[in-house]
Amino acid sequence: MPLPAAIPSVSTPLTPPQPDRNFPINTRVYFWASPGEVMYGTVDSADHASDGSLILKVRDDQGKLCSFPEEALTKVE
């Protein structure tokens, strides 16, 4: 029985996730807090959820680091 043909090795360079062009690092954003209060912060970094969606890490104006799907944020204009 012949051996199977070699499967070519494919390597994809690992690059850290980047926010899309709508929310680059240091972008000012706002979001709604649970009691219905508007909170402001700055995009600190980005990550991908297991489903591939972009999660942005935002440092709010009180210094707390929070994570949000990009759809939950609005750019301060």
3-state secondary structure labels for all residues of 39-69: EEEEEEEEEECCCCCEEEEEEECCCCEEEEE
Binned at pLDDT 50, 70 and 90, residue 4 comes out as: low
Range of the domain at 60: 28-75
Q: Who's near 53: CB < 8 A, 6+ residues apart?
A: 69, 70
Binned at pLDDT 50, 70 and 90, residue 74 comes out as: very high
pLDDT at 19 over 60: no
Evaluate whether residue 54 is within a structural domain.
yes
Query: First vs last Cα of the chain: how many Å apart?
Result: 67
Number of domains within the chain: 1
Residues pairing with 30 in the sheet: 40, 74
Evaluate whether residue 23 is within a structural domain.
no
Evaluate whether residue 65 is within a structural domain.
yes
